[in-house]
Amino acid sequence: MSAWNRTEDRPPEDMVGQLEHAADRIGDVSRADLQVMLRRAALLIRNAAPVGFVAEIEDAIRSVSDELQMTRNDTIRRIVKEWLETNTYLPIHTLEEDGDVEGSA
């Protein structure tokens, strides 16, 4: 992509975040970059299908979403990610005990 996203204020990696970031900086986004983002967004929307659950699971997701102050989709993403990490399908990013850490405690 062009220079609009090479600054310290990097856009998020997710498509929605990129679109919101571009909307906030519309004057800095090139036509080509905007075209790419809009085409990706169109594909995501076209292929999107809501995940449906039985009522008791929907209630639990709604409750967790409210507690964490997250959207339903973000809550589902977090639950799936944590499950995948817990069951070693995804690597868990941990700090080494002897590693350097910035800041102080």
User: Could you give the maximum distance between any two Cα atoms of the chain, in Å?
Assistant: 48
As a whole number of angstroms, the distance between CA 89 and CA 83 comes to 8
Q: Are 29 and 22 a contacting pair, CB within 8 Å? A: yes
Give per-residue pLDDT as tens, 20-63. 888 898 889 899 988 998 898 888 888 777 788 999 999 999 99
Query: Mean pLDDT over residues 59-69, rounded?
Result: 96
Looking at the whole model, is its pTM more than 0.85? no
Identity of residue 4: W
CB atoms within 10 A of CB 19: 18
